Structure 1
Amino acid sequence: MTTRATTATTTPQPGTAPAPVLDATDVRTVFHTPRGPLQAVDGVGLALAEGETLGIVGESGSGKSVLGRTLMGLITDGPDTTVSGTVLLGGRDVHALSPAGRRALWGTEVAMVFQDPMTSLNPVKRVGTHLTESIRLHQGLGRREARDRAVGLLRQVGIPEPARRARQYPHELSGGMRQRVVIAMALACGPRLLIADEPTTALDVTVQKQILDLLQSLARDLRMATVLISHDLATVAGRTDRVAVMYAGRLVEHGPTAEVFARPRHPYSSALIASVPRLDMPPHTLLPAIEGRPPHLLDPPPGCRFAPRCAFATERCTTESPLPAGHDGPGTVACHHPLGAAEEAAV
């Protein structure tokens, strides 16, 4: 098995660390609406090494899914959209490629698992056909070899009687089964990067765990880099190496998962973690809530976008934007007054 690559959060030894699977710098996605430009992603930078898992968390509307689609190249420059920054997948700039060049990357270099498996599957095509189409396109296999490969993929993701399931239609499968089919589709051509966007939406709790366990084991066995997008902090807590916290299109904190959860430095990260119920809480304990609402991205506030809801905000926070939290250190935070700064200064 390949030795785990040095991650972007550690200092690589000269000549030993390969290029990251994903290297995104200053990514910005703007939708041009009748009411004006809406900046859904604003200056995000991320890097991901082989076999590493990154969790992206934040409230609904924070830009997580748009970021995932931008990283994959599903959102590009057009009449109603402006995308800027650099997204390197395997050293190639996704947004500098032609549409045909991006399609060649999908499935082989990067793949995505979407929120709702039913909308990802064609209801008039059999399950096996969903898999064999991409296998034959990218790997050049014959019909029989592609079918055998499809059955093997269904078996790999834990679907019982895979040969029979391959002949069925999506509506004949349960929600958990359909999600496993979507995962099998994503793995069909051996991508180096898997982006899972809320992969357990609308699934029962027990099925959610099965799907998350499956993704974790596949990423480990296949040495895939994985981006796990979720609004559920518990989903990423024990399943990711690093976590990136998004708020209003910006990255506000980034660092090793254990450190961020144990000692969050951004007030927003701290408030999110505090809102998660714990087993040691007395019954009927009210969870703390973040006052106010996220800003409207058509007219975001100046300075720090979390300032109107932050208990630690000062005048500087309302006028001056903090430096973005990038991937250039073991833990970075976009805040003028990070939590724990006074204690660190006293040491």
Structure 2
Amino acid sequence: MTTARDRFDGDGAPVLEVEDLHTRFTTPRGVVRAVDGVSLSLAPGETLGLVGESGSGKSVLGRTLMGLIAGGPTTEVTGTVRIGGQAVHELTAKQRRRLWGPEIAMVFQDPMTSLNPVRRIGVHLTDPLRLHLGLGRREARERAAELLDRVGIPEPRRRLDQYPHELSGGMRQRVMIAVALSCDPSVLVADEPTTALDVTVQKQILDLLAGIAAERRMATILISHDLGAVEGRTDRVAVMYAGRIVEKAPTKDLFAAPHHPYAEALIGSVPALSAAPHTVLRAIDGTPPDMANPPDGCRFAPRCGRAEDRCRTEPPVLAETAIDRTVACHFPVDGPAAVPVQEAAR
């Protein structure tokens, strides 16, 4: 099987390309613009961190990239998602299912509910191996045991015959990772992969994902609220707010000097180890907007201390401030408004 990684490694082109992606849900309260004009790309072996408050659209974006959310009576998806040059939402449902495993896979955020409770662990693993790779029953079982061993689960052969409820939360998350990696995907979407896990297990899971991504040159999107994990384990970061990306930058640059006021506020809300005991935590004033009735202009303006009249009427455009760095803000933290790189160089 020829994968996206095979097609793109030689010329260095992106393995994942997203252009002006919109995901809208029709509800009794109106149309919810969960993802509203997102564009991004991902190269083989690259890890992109996707951060933002709950409700900013991160998980909906991940599921839309997978093709799990497609057009329907109450759902509208527009824009383009290309994996290995294939436009995901132009494919039939059957064709999209063929992508899940060999081309793109997802680690869902809740290990307690992501596995079918009435199916043994071995079935979760062998089904994709038999469907996508054409392995026989015995060969698939051997491969499944190897995968469980690879993700650090002891006694892997015995675990194949167990049910999800017999495993701890950390072991269930490792099983989810093994399932996602079973067909050697070109792109992995890890949606809050350490939710509800203790700190020690969180580190183990993140180390495991980073090691496998480096070993296989797998492109990874790490969706997380944990800015510490994102800072130490990603190459670039995209900050989402109210369905839109408001800043994209190399990880080191973003954490050293965020340009968007929202990105600055997010980073500022992280407790500092050097802070004195009982230091009051910084919080972002206000609440995220109602996505069925978002405000005019910049959606962060009602919560932004730098907002002026222009911000409340004119939506900012995501523009480049430097090579590989973009921000959507009329009055960014570093001073002048963002302009295209070509104009900034004059």
Q: TM class by shorter-chain length?
A: over 0.9
- Structure 1 residues 57 and 327: alpha-carbon distance in aligned structure 2, compared to 1, 3 A threshold: farther
1:121 and 2:119 aligned: no
Matches within 5 A, 1:126-275: 126-275=120-269
Aligned partner of residue 216 in structure 1, secondary structure:
helix
- Identify which of 20, 24, 32 aligns with 2:26: 32
Instruction: After TM superposition, give the deviation of residue 330 of structure 1 in Å.
Output: 1.1
- Higher mean Cα deviation, 149-158 or 334-343? 334-343
- Structure 1 residues 138 and 325: alpha-carbon distance in aligned structure 2, compared to 1, 3 A threshold: farther
Matches within 5 A, 1:296-335: 296-324=290-318, 329-335=323-329
TM-score by length of structure 1 reads: 0.93
Aligned partner of residue 117 in structure 1, secondary structure:
coil
Q: Deviations over 1:121-174 (max 9, x none)?
A: 111111111100110001111110000000000011111111111111111111
Q: Deviations over 1:174-228 (max 9, x none)?
A: 1000000000000111100000000111111111111011111110111100000
Instruction: After TM superposition, give the deviation of residue 298 of structure 1 in Å.
Output: 0.8
Instruction: After TM superposition, give the deviation of residue 17 of structure 1 in Å.
Output: 3.2
- Structure 1 residues 343 and 139: alpha-carbon distance in aligned structure 2, compared to 1, 3 A threshold: closer
Distance across 1 between alignment mates of 2:86 and 2:10: 20
Taking only the aligned residue pairs, the percentage that are identical comes to 66
- Structure 1 residues 64 and 161: alpha-carbon distance in aligned structure 2, compared to 1, 3 A threshold: same
Distance across 2 between alignment mates of 1:180 and 1:188: 12
1:107 and 2:132 aligned: no
Structure 2 gaps of 5+ residues are 339-343
Structure 1 gaps of 5+ residues are 6-14
Aligned partner of residue 295 in structure 1, secondary structure:
coil
Instruction: After TM superposition, give the deviation of residue 326 of structure 1 in Å.
Output: 8.1
Q: Which residue of structure 2 lines up, in the alignment, with residue 81 of structure 1?
A: 75
Distance across 2 between alignment mates of 1:105 and 1:85: 19
Q: Is the 8 A contact 2:321 2:327 kept in 1?
A: no
Distance across 1 between alignment mates of 2:182 and 2:41: 24
1:294 and 2:282 aligned: no
Q: Which residue of structure 1 lines up, in the alignment, with residue 274 of structure 2?
A: 280
Q: How many residues align?
A: 332
Instruction: After TM superposition, give the deviation of residue 119 of structure 1 in Å.
Output: 1.6
Q: CA RMSD in A?
A: 1.8
Q: Is the 8 A contact 2:329 2:337 kept in 1?
A: no
- Structure 1 residues 259 and 167: alpha-carbon distance in aligned structure 2, compared to 1, 3 A threshold: same
Q: Is the 8 A contact 1:248 1:305 kept in 2?
A: yes
Distance across 2 between alignment mates of 1:127 and 1:233: 32
Q: Which residue of structure 2 lines up, in the alignment, with residue 46 of structure 1?
A: 40
Aligned partner of residue 293 in structure 1, secondary structure:
coil
